[in-house]
Chains A and B, each alone.
Chain A
């Protein structure tokens, strides 16, 4: 029997990093936002990423704009983990 996860069990207002965002003008969907400190080539920076279900991602692809917490990003890469969840690397505008 197929086992289907309900991602809303893991991505909800009780989950650290929870955000409700609108993508491509669609109604808000749930996702997890993370922005960890990192250094690259001896330069300070951060790595903004979004964990979201493929369903909630919809038709968004590379360069689709996303606003999170008032900051404008665009989609860099979309990494599917094969379970229906994707990790999106965001680029700050």
Chain B
């Protein structure tokens, strides 16, 4: 039995964003421990809230699902940290919209749409640190009894 589609989505997004120019292989999923300094700049991919609507009232309905994907870009730099974050945002957006295959994670979802970008910076660390938080919504469908297969 496959993993839940939401897990498949998270892993597919992380795979797609691995190897970008700014963040390279520093891509983490739902990390519990803080990122080490030698792994920066980095991307952190999380799947969080999921809104679900049943498309019918019968037993085992088709579920319309909207999954929130958070992509956090974190970087430390003495100068121009906003440029580092903006450059990485560009790479993430381009990667997820490079093709229909990328935007649908090879058919796993119907589409992925960017809904929000939030930037925060902090200078109380040994170097200025910044975070860009990108919120995406992924739409997909499953049968209620088969949450591991996108239809």
Chain A neighbourhood of B76, CB < 8 A: 43, 45
How many chain A residues touch B (Cβ–Cβ < 8 Å)?
A: 19
> When A and B form their complex, what is the total count of cross-chain residue pairs whose Cβ atoms lie within 8 Å?
59
A41-B72 CB under 8 A given contacts A91-B78, A93-B78: yes
Indicate if B54 sits at the interface (CB-CB under 8 A): no
**Which B residue sits closest to A74, measured CB to CB?**
B78
Would you call A57 an interface residue if the criterion is a C-beta within 8 Å of the partner chain's C-beta atoms? no
B34 touches A47 (CB 8 A): no
Chain B, interface residues (CB within 8 Å), range: 20 to 34
- B residues 33-87 with Cβ under 8 Å of A? 34-37, 40, 42, 44, 72, 74, 76, 78
| Contact residues, B124-151 vs A (CB, 8 A) | 124-131
Contact B37 A44 (CB under 8 A): yes
15 A-B pairs whose Cβ atoms sit less than 8 Å apart in the complex = A40-B125, A41-B74, A41-B120, A41-B130, A42-B72, A43-B125, A44-B34, A44-B36, A46-B126, A47-B124, A48-B126, A91-B78, A91-B127, A92-B126, A92-B127
Seed contacts A42-B34, A42-B74, A91-B127; 20 additional CB < 8 Å A-B pairs = A39-B34, A40-B122, A40-B125, A41-B72, A41-B120, A41-B122, A42-B31, A43-B34, A43-B35, A43-B40, A43-B74, A43-B76, A43-B129, A44-B35, A45-B129, A47-B124, A48-B126, A89-B124, A91-B123, A93-B78
